[in-house]
Structure 1
Amino acid sequence: MTKIAVLDDWQGVARASADWSLLSARADVTFFEDALSDEEAIVRRLRDFDIVMTMRERTPFPANLIERLPNLQMLSVTGMRNRSVDLHALEARGVTVTCTQAGESGEATAELALALMLAAARRLPAGDAAIRAGGFQGGVAPGFTLHGKTLGLIGLGRLGSLVGSYGKALGMRVLAWSPNLTMERAVASGVEYSAKSELLTEADLISIHMVLAPETIGIIGERDLSLMKPGAVVVNTSRGPLIDEPALLAALAADKITAALDVFSQEPLPEDHPLRRSRNAILSPHLGYCVRENFEVFYRQSIENVLAFLDGTPIRLLAQAK
């Protein structure tokens, strides 16, 4: 019987997000809710499986891992792209790779960015901790309103534009910059075009909405963080490596800024990571796209993809969606 591994079900939602009965009748399906980072452990877990169903950009599949999975015939990923999967190595092995659509158009991550802004501005994590410890307002610093403040967007694609519209609805001045952004595009999105240095200097809150690529790694570095206002907030719901991590840790330790982060350079975040101990960091465990609307589409279409593969007529091939 075909053996299928469902990986990366970190929230334990896979079973309830779709009807698995048709697939379970034709294959042996095993669900895994924990995360493995050690390649040897991943190989031991997956070497006997024929099909692996993954969640977008959680367990990476580099060439050296793919070569050590002799039974792998199909890899199912969620979303329309996955930079942690070596497509060339999979193609060379003859492995079929399929993808899915999403259940929403970016609102989930954009709304989480807004939630992190509000949490930072109103000191919600500190207030929650104070009450749970038996206190109340004591030790909780006063926050600030978003109305009248300046929001700086690093990136003005679909998500950045959504966050910009939220900022404008709250009465914020919204600036935007990216390496390829033009004044015309900014104006068409209803925001102000700004040079990067001016945005960093003027913004009370900065929200990053860039795609991770070799040229965008560390796009917010030590000098950029030094330009930010004392007490300013940087929000990252895109990818951890967009911010230079040592520089960010130094700025947080110096009490210069607050960071509200949903993404990290290594995920899950290691238990001993210094961000976990930073009093100036608000941390969310990469919940950006983790909403019911997405999971229902991810798993339903993943099941459809596997059934089509088993029938010899694969659909939603990732190479066709690039």
Structure 2
Amino acid sequence: MANLPNVVILGDYEHALRRFSNWDKVDRQCHITIHHEPLHGEALYEAVKDADVIVLVRDRTPFNEALIAHLPKLKLFLFTGKRNGTLDASALISRNIPVACTPGGPSKETTTELTWALILGASKHLVRQNNLLHSGGWRDELSVPPMLSGERLGIIGLGSIGSAVAKVGQAFGMELVTWSPNMTTKRAAAQNVKSVGLEELLKTSKVISLHLVAGPKTKGLIGAQELAMMRSDALLVNTSRSALIDTQALQDALAAGRPGQAAIDVFEIEPLPTNDALRNIPNLLTTPHLGFVAEPVFAMFSKGIVDTLEAWLEHKPLPYPFEP
């Protein structure tokens, strides 16, 4: 075993990768270590310092240039999905270390599903109603929830996921409006959605759902000023990236009751610390970054990892090379 390549896999929180592919061939030719818990700092370095191959599940484990520079044995770097926002890929490329990825699977579809699970769960107060029944109760003052039909759904970002979310909103009989930094009236109309200014969207929408890529133009897009514009009965939903919202401003706004509710699946620090205030805000529905987490997605991740490792071991072209 000592002479076999060391393969270190990081971030398999769900213990899922082994379940969806046949790893026998790779196991015979590699020494594989899978870390299921988050690693940072010295613990992360100790885990990867002797690695010939590093595999990341999504962007759960940041890798910067400084860390990469201290990995002299590294020969291949692989991450699941097509994009990784916390990896300094240029530091690997400059050292001629091959970088590969995997197919992403139906992650957009499952994120759409979760978005609507959050919208419906929050607007119908499902967690509260479930807890009420578990405690022996029946109904309370929140047992007369609003309807979504006829209300305005504001979609910030009308890409693949935003467009899919819009179709469900239309099926529910909602009025659809959208905004993004590069939105056009023609593009919105192609999805049967009305393009409006950001201020109008924030002031008039019952549900506001974020579906933008976090970048220089969108980081901190929703801050104290934007939150204060929202209706007191509005629901703000984020299944995209935490950087789109100023987290402290959101906490303050929810305490003040504008918007009335929020539902989020993404956080600045993940996993969310056990003592984080976001865990205990009564008008905030939270899920542990489940947007892309689904069996078909992890099956694609697992197969992509195995296919890539087998190709690398056999000195064949990598099936899914990363394209910067």
Relative to the length of structure 2, the TM-score reads 0.95
Match of 1:30 in 2: 33
SS at match of 2:94: helix
- Answering whether residue 259 of structure 2 is matched by residue 287 of structure 1, we say no
- Alignment root-mean-square deviation, CA: 1.4
Query: 1:177·1:195 contact (CA, 8 Å) conserved in 2?
Result: yes
Distance 2:140 2:175 in 1: 32
Query: 1:5·1:31 contact (CA, 8 Å) conserved in 2?
Result: yes
Distance 2:310 2:141 in 1: 56
- Answering whether residue 147 of structure 2 is matched by residue 145 of structure 1, we say yes
Which residue type is aligned with residue 125 of structure 2?
R
- Answering whether residue 307 of structure 2 is matched by residue 304 of structure 1, we say yes
Match of 1:164 in 2: 166
Deviates more, 1:239-248 or 1:66-75: 66-75
Deviation (angstroms), 1:66: 1.1
Deviation (angstroms), 1:318: 4.2
Match of 1:211 in 2: 213
Match of 2:63 in 1: 61
Aligned pairs for 1:87-166 within 5 A: 87-104=89-106, 106-138=108-140, 140-166=142-168
Deviation (angstroms), 1:72: 1.8
SS at match of 1:25: helix
- Answering whether residue 86 of structure 2 is matched by residue 75 of structure 1, we say no
Which residue type is aligned with residue 293 of structure 1?
P
SS at match of 1:267: coil
- Answering whether residue 209 of structure 2 is matched by residue 198 of structure 1, we say no
The alignment covers a number of residue pairs equal to: 320
- Answering whether residue 266 of structure 2 is matched by residue 259 of structure 1, we say no
SS at match of 2:93: helix
- Answering whether residue 276 of structure 2 is matched by residue 273 of structure 1, we say yes
Query: 1:176·1:193 contact (CA, 8 Å) conserved in 2?
Result: yes
SS at match of 2:166: helix
Which residue type is aligned with residue 151 of structure 1?
L
Deviation (angstroms), 1:102: 2.1
Query: 1:81·1:318 contact (CA, 8 Å) conserved in 2?
Result: no
Match of 1:179 in 2: 181
Deviation (angstroms), 1:269: 0.9
Query: 1:123·1:142 contact (CA, 8 Å) conserved in 2?
Result: no
Distance 2:131 2:74 in 1: 46
Query: 1:206·1:235 contact (CA, 8 Å) conserved in 2?
Result: yes
Deviation (angstroms), 1:141: 4.7
Distance 2:230 2:71 in 1: 47
Distance 2:200 2:155 in 1: 12
Relative to the length of structure 1, the TM-score reads 0.95
Choose which of 11, 15, 18 in structure 2 pairs with 1:15: 18
- Answering whether residue 233 of structure 2 is matched by residue 231 of structure 1, we say yes
Q: String of CA shifts for 1:159-200, please: whole Å, max 9, x gaps.
A: 100000000001000100001000000000111111100011
Which residue type is aligned with residue 120 of structure 1?
A
Deviation (angstroms), 1:18: 1.4
Distance 1:105 1:266, change over 3 A: closer
Deviation (angstroms), 1:310: 1.6
Query: 1:3·1:29 contact (CA, 8 Å) conserved in 2?
Result: yes
Distance 2:179 2:196 in 1: 6
Deviation (angstroms), 1:135: 3.1
Q: String of CA shifts for 1:45-78, please: whole Å, max 9, x gaps.
A: 1112211111111111111111222222111111
SS at match of 1:106: helix
Q: String of CA shifts for 1:17-42, please: whole Å, max 9, x gaps.
A: 21111111111112211112x31110
Deviation (angstroms), 1:273: 1.2
- Answering whether residue 200 of structure 2 is matched by residue 221 of structure 1, we say no
Deviation (angstroms), 1:271: 1.3
Which residue type is aligned with residue 161 of structure 1?
S
Query: 1:80·1:318 contact (CA, 8 Å) conserved in 2?
Result: no
Deviation (angstroms), 1:215: 1.9
Distance 1:95 1:39 in 2: 22
Deviates more, 1:19-28 or 1:141-150: 141-150
